[in-house]
Amino acid sequence: MAHYQNLPVFKATYALLIYLYTISRNFQRDYRYTIGESLKKDMLEMMLNLYRTNSKADKRELIRVCRENIEGIRIQVRILFDLKQLSLKQYSRISVDIESVSKQLVAWEQYEEKKQTGSIESKK
């Protein structure tokens, strides 16, 4: 089993979390302590789910949970942008990062599906 810290999806999620922590200090107070805190909490939860996913034999269900996490994060980021808490440049960067994580999760899920159906032999 690979260490979860070496997973590209974990690294990308971690980088996004650090960026969100960096920019959230500039949110207006009303949003910093409501949606800003919720967003950071959801990002941390997703990182824990990535760890849990990597430690399971059957990863498919937890990958689906991670995909739900990233969609919730995407919605919250859109709300922050619409509330003028994110600049267009920040929103664009975050959106690209979210899309990258999302695509990695989809690819991981497809890989696990193929592995479970026997299309890919697991290495022993």
Question: Where does the chain have alpha helices with state H?
Answer: 8-24, 29-32, 35-55, 60-82, 88-117
pLDDT at 118: 79
pLDDT at 119: 63
Q: pLDDT-based confidence at 124, cuts 50/70/90?
A: very low
pLDDT digits (tens, 9 = 90+) for 51-100: 999 889 899 999 999 999 999 999 999 999 999 999 999 999 999 999 99
pLDDT digits (tens, 9 = 90+) for 10-37: 999 999 999 999 999 999 999 999 999 9
Q: pLDDT-based confidence at 6, cuts 50/70/90?
A: confident
Residue 122 pLDDT greater than 80, yes or no:
no
Instruction: Find the length of the chain.
Output: 124
Task: Return the closest-CA partner of residue 90 out of 24, 31, 8.
Answer: 24
